[in-house]
């Protein structure tokens, strides 16, 4: 197979344990990907704040193959800007992010890797036999892109409106401070079929039992409840009031020296890493691939191809028995 270079990743696909490192050590400039080439993210700076805007509003800012690496590059650009003190991450069109654009994956038949012409190959939707190593390489690279938020030497503030679902919650929970409209929803519905949250932040934010309950059921939490259980930092009623509250916090942060912000973030993140965040992410990435290629995962994809992704998701999230609830194993 050809030695494929992911756009904006600057290295051939390979296992990348050196990238799973402490804050700041991988904050460096990317080579071939520049802001003017962005397809799914907007980036600009104003008044010492860098704005990273998820920019697919017609699709609820669903994550395509470009978005993770554009987020990564934008965070790096903000870190190298001497004027920037803090980064604000939010979605265009008064919505944060509806997760991965799974419709294109779930409704498509698996493809031969050799026949793919994209600059970012599709290792998620492989033909059988499935190669877990290739799946891991791709999803580890995507997760590592989100973790640029975690490693950023400047605080990243998430402003969450309407939804932060699936991969959208991965992005939000990687941020240092999270503000959410109280009636908006956050969660990881694919945890019941066809997914595992690769960022693994849930346990570290809400504790063992609450994390299990949320992931066992795929429950969507309101901003109000998410604040109450400690998943996010603060919920605010109404989008306009949320904007005002976030602006207040940003105005305070830009008055704090950049090095002081980094010192505090670095210590807090180090504690979480010592508790096992990075090793939990490695395991989550492995299980994410397994969940998409389990008998139930394959049956779910077939169902998506039969009736469409949206209808299959409604079945999945209905809480009722489905054709994959009691699948028998062939022996």
Taking only the tens place, the pLDDT of each residue in 54-84 is 999 999 999 999 999 999 999 999 999 999 9
Count the Cβ atoms, other than its own, within 10 Å of residue 245.
16
**Residue scoring higher pLDDT (309 or 227):** 227
Predicted pLDDT at 310: 86
| Average pLDDT over every residue of 87-115 | 78
pLDDT band at 30 (very low <50, low <70, confident <90, very high): very low
- Rounded to 5°, the CA angle 185-209-62 comes to 30
**Residue scoring higher pLDDT (157 or 308):** 157
Task: Quote the CA–CA distance of 322 and 324 in Å, as a whole number.
Answer: 5
Quickly list H helices, the chain. Answer: 67-79, 102-106, 132-151, 167-173, 202-206, 208-217, 223-228, 239-253, 258-274, 277-293, 295-307, 309-316
DSSP state of 52: E
Query: Residue 15: is its pLDDT beyond 90?
Result: no
Strand-pair category, 49-54 with 41-46: antiparallel
Nearest to 258 by CA among 78, 21, 74: 78
**Residue scoring higher pLDDT (20 or 221):** 221
CATH number of 17-293: 3.90.226.10
Q: In this predicted model, what pLDDT tens digit does every residue of 266-302 receive, in sequence order?
A: 999 999 999 999 999 999 999 999 999 999 998 998 8
Predicted pLDDT at 316: 87
Predicted pLDDT at 27: 38
> What pTM was estimated for this model as a whole?
0.85
- Give the chain's mean pLDDT: 86
Predicted pLDDT at 34: 87
Q: Is 186 in contact with 202 (CB distance < 8 Å)?
A: no
Structure tokens belonging to residue 76: 């790096």
Q: In this predicted model, what pLDDT tens digit does every residue of 240-249 receive, in sequence order?
A: 999 999 999 9
Please report the sign of the dihedral spanned by the C-alpha atoms of residue 91, residue 92, residue 98, residue 101.
negative
Give how far the C-alpha of residue 253 lies from the chain's centroid of Cα atoms, to the nearest Å: 24
Count the Cβ atoms, other than its own, within 10 Å of residue 30.
18
Predicted pLDDT at 107: 55
- What phi and psi values does residue 220 have, to the nearest 5 degrees? -100, 130
How far separated are the first and last CA of the chain, in Å rounded? 34
pLDDT band at 327 (very low <50, low <70, confident <90, very high): low
Query: Residue 24: is its pLDDT beyond 60?
Result: no
Q: In this predicted model, what pLDDT tens digit does every residue of 133-183 receive, in sequence order?
A: 999 999 999 999 999 999 999 999 999 999 999 999 999 999 999 999 999
Q: In this predicted model, what pLDDT tens digit does every residue of 187-203 receive, in sequence order?
A: 999 999 989 999 999 99
Predicted pLDDT at 152: 99
């Amino acid at each position: 197979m050809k030695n494929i270079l992911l756009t904006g990743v600057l290295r051939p696909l390979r296992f990348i344990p050196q990238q799973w490192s402490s804050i700041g050590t991988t904050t460096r400039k990317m080579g071939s990907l520049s802001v003017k080439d962005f397809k799914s993210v907007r980036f600009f700076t104003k008044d010492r704040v860098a704005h990273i805007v998820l920019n697919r509003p017609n699709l609820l800012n669903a994550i395509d193959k470009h978005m993770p690496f554009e987020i990564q590059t934008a965070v790096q650009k903000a870190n190298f800007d001497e004027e920037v003190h803090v980064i604000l991450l939010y979605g265009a069109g008064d919505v944060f992010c509806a997760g991965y654009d799974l419709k294109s994956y779930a409704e498509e038949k698996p493809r031969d890797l050799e026949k793919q012409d994209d600059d970012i190959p599709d290792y998620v939707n492989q033909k059988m036999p499935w190669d877990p190593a290739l799946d891991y390489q791709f999803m580890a690279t995507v997760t590592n892109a989100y973790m640029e938020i975690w490693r950023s030497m400047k605080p990243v503030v998430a402003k969450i409106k309407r939804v932060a679902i699936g991969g959208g919650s991965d992005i939000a929970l990687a941020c240092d401070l999270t503000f959410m409209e109280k009636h908006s929803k956050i969660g990881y519905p694919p945890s019941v079929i066809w997914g595992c949250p690769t960022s693994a932040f849930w346990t570290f934010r809400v504790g063992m039992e609450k994390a299990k309950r949320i992931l066992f059921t795929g429950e969507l939490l309101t901003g109000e409840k998410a604040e109450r259980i400690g998943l996010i930092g603060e919920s605010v009623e109404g989008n306009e009031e949320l904007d005002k509250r976030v602006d207040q916090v940003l105005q305070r942060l830009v008055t704090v020296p950049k090095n002081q912000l980094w010192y505090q973030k670095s210590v807090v993140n180090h504690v979480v890493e010592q508790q096992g965040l990075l090793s939990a992410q490695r395991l989550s990435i492995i299980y994410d691939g397994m969940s998409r290629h389990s008998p139930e995962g394959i049956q779910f994809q077939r169902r998506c191809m039969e009736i469409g992704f949206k209808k299959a998701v409604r079945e999945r999230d209905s809480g009722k028995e489905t054709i994959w609830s009691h699948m028998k194993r062939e022996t």
